[in-house]
Structure 1
Amino acid sequence: MKHNPVELPSGSRSYALPRTSKIVLVIIFVTLAILTIIPVLYPLLGYPIYLLKFSPSSSSSSKPSTPSTYENDEEVGAASIKISDQAEGCDIFSGEWVRNLEAPYYTNTTCWAIHEHQNCMKYGRPDTEFMKWKWKPDGCELPVFNPAQFLEILRGKSLAFVGDSVGRNQMQSLICLLSRVEYPIDVSYTPDERFKRWKYTSYNSTIAYFWTPHLIKSKERDANGPTQTGLFNLYLDEFDEEWTTQIEGFDYLIISGGHWFYRPAVFYENHQIVGCHFCQLENVTDLTKFYGYRKAFRTAFKAINSLENFKGITILRTFAPSHFENGIWNQGGNCVRTKPFRSNETALDGDNLELYMIQMEEFRAAEREGRKKGKKYRLLDTTQASLLRPDGHPSRYGHWPHENVTLYNDCVHWCLPGPIDTWNDFLLQMLKMEGIRSHQERLHSGDRKMKFQ
């Protein structure tokens, strides 16, 4: 083999380097390579290796630790941590729905957690295309849900859903998505179905659900009420202790609410009636549902900020609009579309916009106040993605046609499988980011300690 000559300091030529020189050059090369790579990997240092193993540079033969039916190879590669995009400012909550022929990732026959009224395929929904979409953020990718990854992040931790039946809808979606790895066991502290706890024994993880449709203390005043859906007393400045006394040990708290505030209600503050929403009571001022909604979220966040022993992260899941067309919910309204809207085909407006803005304003105020006490708040913004999915509701496919039930067309809840599964795609991505954020905070804290030493 012919070698190119090497110029030596003496000026003479040699066709071979001394052994010690070779070793020195190798050491220099390796050192430079390491110094080059470290800045690239810096945001991910200290982060669990299972989140990094599907990086774009990984061998094409790499396989997920869970069966390949969870995600196809391209999507596992995409899970490759487009986290960097998010860290650079990508808004995962703004985007469009795109086709996903790999979906769904579970069915109504493989998951027992689906609520009957959201079991659309069981009750004869004829189309299936509503299950075959995924969310594509503007400017980055949102990986399809990886159940093993989620459970590993949640290992030894606990997560609670606090809210109404749409919150329960998301929890059941999560159980179904995770069922490809493990089913939980029921460890509920009460037989009341409104308060459930599920444990993943292999991961020592708990998922819980706390029913609180108004988020605050409430009581049914009249079972019929002006709209035949009940008239409720809402105590706008009082905590709902059914959940506020139970959450201190949880690591993650997902709070949500909205649709129950359309129902007639009488508002109390300081134990006195201050107004109502469509209560039709004499000498009681109608302050609208928006007044009650704002005060309810304000009080719920105040409850969280007042819990000295709650060290978890509070996540607000934003309002998900309903999609009634050709009438309101009890006057023939229905949702019969079979494909998503594009973002330029509809807009958040009217009541939906007002409810969303109230949530955002109260969330930001609570976040500012909570920061003084070391509380952490995050935003799970499902509003746009949900607004674009009029095709994802049960409509009349929540019961058999011949059943004598007093149910209206359901354009509020979501079929399972269905668009609501994407809410948990969002949630997983947020938990990944939380891991990186925590690591960076620890590094920053370490830097500060070093400076003061």
Structure 2
Amino acid sequence: MEHQAIDELPSGKICPQKPPKNFVLLVSVLLLLTIVQLYHPSIFRSLFLSKTIDSNPQVPSTSSSSSSDHSNVQEDDLPSITSNLKCDIFTGEWVPNPEAPYYTNTTCWAIHEHQNCMKYGRPDAEFMKWKWKPDDCELPVFNPAQFLELVRGKSMAFVGDSVGRNQMQSLICLLSRVEYPIVVSSTEDQRFIRWKYTSYKFTLAAFWTPYLIKSKQVTYTEGPTKNGLFELYLDEFDEAWTTQIDEFDYIILSAGHWFFRSMVYYENQTISGCNYCLIDNVTDIGKQYAYRKAFRTAFKAINSLENFKGITYIRTFAPSHFENGMWNEGGNCLRTKPYRSNETRLEGLDLELYKIQIEEYRKGEREGRKKGLKYRLLDTTQAMLLRPDGHPSRYGHWPNENVTLYNDCVHWCLPGPIDTWSDFLLEMLKMEGMRSAEEKKLRITNDTTLN
């Protein structure tokens, strides 16, 4: 838009007396700020939030508290959106970060006992002193005040298993430098808990659903585990969460390691197969089949909701790092530093599960787009593949305790590498406005072309 100069009035009009120079200067500054806010709102917001951080004595400032504000414009069903046009924030390396950690196991009460590695005697601390460095740009370290400003008045739900809960507890610990939440749950069931950040009117919730779909643990007279066998209803919604997420602005959806258990599959209320059930006349069709169907049904549930208008983030599979045996065969994870990206690669079953997630995500996203719903891919797989040093191992309990997962190479120590998931999430939230604008522009272009 071109703006007419103040003293260029139409012919025949009386030109008013010129205002003082200070007034002209003030008007010019205000006009400039208005233009910046209209055309670059994220820059304007970043300036404000940076000031918020600097003026808050509870929050240590870092050199990476802000990022450049550009969007990674891609086709709709490509997942990445970052602050750099040529950068994929999910591809990179772990680099030393001597400033970490940003909380400790003594300053944050939200750490689950089984992930409290320092409490249970882990002798090394270097696993906490790394940050993720994308190949072609910088990923800012999590800024708690900036995050809380962006989600002010909104709500976020973590939907999934204990690794999803692990992520939520990490986020609570990172936010604790600004504010702790209060419990506002209507139930005492810790699997379905809600928190409130009262100063920001921000609600955080966890919905326990290890398979994302309807399931139950049962006792069989045959099979390898008998009382440890799970029935999965692959085409039925888990109403424990699907009936409660209409009100949420953001959903973080994830699932993975529970699919390694012995399971019996039901479709149309009839047994259709199993995974390592060893039951006569029931065909073992593998865990991949159920994994695909579970995500497909979960996306169908979200897309069928009448009132849900939020954004669904799919957090991708985080590989475990058992060596010298499986979890129940004495396997352990004793490494003390990250891999470099050229030292390992995703392969085998982990790769299959990851590809299934991506494929079903794209199908679900396309269907959701027809209803105006938004899906985003929070792709943590590559970063976590490189962190065999970040698990509790035997430091999630006292040595003489009788626990099911004695060497835990599935969950993540807190503080630890899982804190980087909040770095990813905040960067995606910061770019959401620009991503949405690009998608709207693309839809308008497509509609015009079709017409």
TM-score (norm 2): 0.85
**Alignment partner of 1:267: what SS?**
strand
Matched to 2:160, the amino acid is G
Report how many residues are paired.
411
Displacement of 1:50: 4.1
Displacement of 1:404: 3.5
The residue number in structure 2 matching 1:233 is 231
The residue number in structure 2 matching 1:201 is 198
2:147 is aligned with 1:173: no
Q: Aligned partners of 1:405, 1:278: CA distance in 2, in Å?
A: 23
Of 300, 313, 316, which residue of structure 2 is paired with 1:315? Answer: 313
Gaps of 5+ in 2: 1-17, 72-81, 447-451
The residue number in structure 2 matching 1:135 is 132
Matched to 1:86, the amino acid is S
Matched to 2:131, the amino acid is K
The alignment yields a C-alpha RMSD, in angstroms, of: 2.9
**Alignment partner of 1:75: what SS?**
coil
The residue number in structure 2 matching 1:215 is 212
2:404 is aligned with 1:418: no
Matched to 1:75, the amino acid is S
Whether the aligned pair in 2 keeps the contact of 1:229 and 1:263 (CA below 8 Å) is: no
Q: Aligned partners of 1:81, 1:361: CA distance in 2, in Å?
A: 31
The residue number in structure 2 matching 1:392 is 390
Q: Aligned partners of 2:435, 2:109: CA distance in 1, in Å?
A: 35
Q: Aligned partners of 1:90, 1:272: CA distance in 2, in Å?
A: 47
**Alignment partner of 2:41: what SS?**
coil
Q: Aligned partners of 2:102, 2:93: CA distance in 1, in Å?
A: 20
Q: Aligned partners of 1:205, 1:368: CA distance in 2, in Å?
A: 29
Whether the aligned pair in 2 keeps the contact of 1:51 and 1:81 (CA below 8 Å) is: no
Deviations 1:251-299 (A, max 9, x none): 0001000100000000000000010000100011111000000000000
Q: Aligned partners of 2:375, 2:441: CA distance in 1, in Å?
A: 21
**Alignment partner of 1:134: what SS?**
strand
Q: Aligned partners of 2:56, 2:134: CA distance in 1, in Å?
A: 25
The residue number in structure 2 matching 1:146 is 143
Whether the aligned pair in 1 keeps the contact of 2:58 and 2:178 (CA below 8 Å) is: no
**Alignment partner of 2:417: what SS?**
coil
Whether the aligned pair in 2 keeps the contact of 1:82 and 1:141 (CA below 8 Å) is: no
**Alignment partner of 1:52: what SS?**
helix
Whether the aligned pair in 1 keeps the contact of 2:156 and 2:250 (CA below 8 Å) is: yes
Q: Aligned partners of 1:227, 1:310: CA distance in 2, in Å?
A: 39
Matched to 1:66, the amino acid is N
**Alignment partner of 1:122: what SS?**
coil
2:66 is aligned with 1:66: no
Deviates more, 1:433-442 or 1:214-223: 433-442
Deviations 1:74-132 (A, max 9, x none): 223xx233656635131100100000000000000000000000000000000000000
The residue number in structure 1 matching 2:281 is 283
Displacement of 1:241: 0.1
Deviations 1:286-327 (A, max 9, x none): 110000000000000000000010000011000000000011
* Matches for 1:108-123 after TM superposition, within 5 Å: 108-123=105-120
Q: Aligned partners of 2:373, 2:53: CA distance in 1, in Å?
A: 38
The residue number in structure 2 matching 1:362 is 360
2:49 is aligned with 1:51: no
Of 174, 181, 184, which residue of structure 2 is paired with 1:184? Answer: 181
Gaps of 5+ in 1: 1-19, 449-453
**Alignment partner of 1:247: what SS?**
coil
Q: Give the number of the structure whose alpha-carbon radius of gyration is greater.
A: 1
When residues 403 and 63 of structure 1 are mapped into structure 2, their CA distance, relative to the original with a 3 A threshold, is closer
Displacement of 1:189: 1.8
Displacement of 1:66: 3.0
Whether the aligned pair in 2 keeps the contact of 1:294 and 1:358 (CA below 8 Å) is: yes
Q: Aligned partners of 1:280, 1:183: CA distance in 2, in Å?
A: 48
Deviates more, 1:186-195 or 1:167-176: 186-195
When residues 99 and 87 of structure 1 are mapped into structure 2, their CA distance, relative to the original with a 3 A threshold, is closer
2:63 is aligned with 1:80: no
When residues 439 and 371 of structure 1 are mapped into structure 2, their CA distance, relative to the original with a 3 A threshold, is closer
TM-score (norm 1): 0.84
When residues 372 and 325 of structure 1 are mapped into structure 2, their CA distance, relative to the original with a 3 A threshold, is same
Whether the aligned pair in 2 keeps the contact of 1:118 and 1:413 (CA below 8 Å) is: yes
Of 102, 105, 113, which residue of structure 2 is paired with 1:105? Answer: 102
Matched to 1:293, the amino acid is Y
Deviates more, 1:228-237 or 1:243-252: 228-237
Matched to 2:125, the amino acid is T
Displacement of 1:400: 1.1
Displacement of 1:442: 7.7
**Alignment partner of 1:233: what SS?**
strand
Q: Aligned partners of 1:203, 1:243: CA distance in 2, in Å?
A: 24
The residue number in structure 1 matching 2:75 is none
Q: Aligned partners of 2:39, 2:402: CA distance in 1, in Å?
A: 56
2:178 is aligned with 1:159: no
Whether the aligned pair in 1 keeps the contact of 2:315 and 2:377 (CA below 8 Å) is: yes
Matched to 1:135, the amino acid is W
**Alignment partner of 1:161: what SS?**
strand
Whether the aligned pair in 1 keeps the contact of 2:58 and 2:177 (CA below 8 Å) is: no
**Alignment partner of 2:425: what SS?**
helix
Whether the aligned pair in 1 keeps the contact of 2:254 and 2:316 (CA below 8 Å) is: yes
Q: Aligned partners of 1:178, 1:121: CA distance in 2, in Å?
A: 20
* Matches for 1:369-388 after TM superposition, within 5 Å: 369-388=367-386
The residue number in structure 2 matching 1:297 is 295
Displacement of 1:446: 11
